[in-house]
Amino acid sequence: MNIEQFGILIKTITDAVAGKALVPALGDELDHLFPPKGDDFKAIEAACHKGVEDGWMCTQGGEGRRFGRVLEPSPATSNFSVDVVDLTDIVGPYHRHPNGEVCMIMPMTHAARFDGKGEGWKVYEPGSAHHPTVSSGRALVLYLLPGGEIEFIKEPPK
């Protein structure tokens, strides 16, 4: 598996979400279209593990938080960027999704949760913001950003 092959593999997902409203209910739809036990999900999950193992995925960061952009937004990805993070029991940096975010959650530790969700899909709507949080273990999270847009911002006062 290399980056070019990965791009072909992820196209199934980016084509499926292209043009759809990025709202939380899309996560449920993706759980149905690409279930965690399904062939597409498992193939992408295996490719992510192989990419990390081979050293071309999650190349930045340090212990407990490794990350990296795998693909820039382009017509081949329906203008989504593709990033993958490897997180272990961590609260990540606060950020905003100007155009939304589609997350594919792949626990490496059975009980691991990303923002409270286990294996599967979670979608954030445009303008949403959060601290990406993995609890109860380790997880890979693949995320799609329309136009590659993400803003690391100061957390608003509570």
Length of the chain: 158
CB atoms within 10 A of CB 21: 11
3-state secondary structure (DSSP) of residue 62: strand
How high is the pLDDT of residue 39? 98
pTM of this prediction exceeds 0.85 = yes
Q: Which residues are registered as beta bridge partners of 60?
A: 67
How high is the pLDDT of residue 155? 80
How high is the pLDDT of residue 158? 72
Give dist(CA 35, CA 32) in Å, integer.
5
Give dist(CA 34, CA 82) in Å, integer.
17
- Tokens (6 digits) for 80: 């989504």
How high is the pLDDT of residue 98? 97
How high is the pLDDT of residue 154? 86
Q: Write down all domains in the chain, each with its CATH number in brackets.
A: 3-13+23-147 (2.60.120.10)
Between the CA atoms of 5, 10, 14 and 16, what dihedral angle is there, to the nearest 10 degrees? 120
How high is the pLDDT of residue 136? 98
Per-residue pLDDT of the chain (158 residues; tens, 9 = 90+): 899 999 999 999 999 999 999 999 999 999 999 999 999 999 999 999 999 999 999 999 998 899 999 999 999 999 999 999 999 999 999 999 999 999 999 999 999 999 999 999 999 999 999 999 999 999 999 999 999 999 998 887 67
How high is the pLDDT of residue 63? 87
Amino acid at 33: L
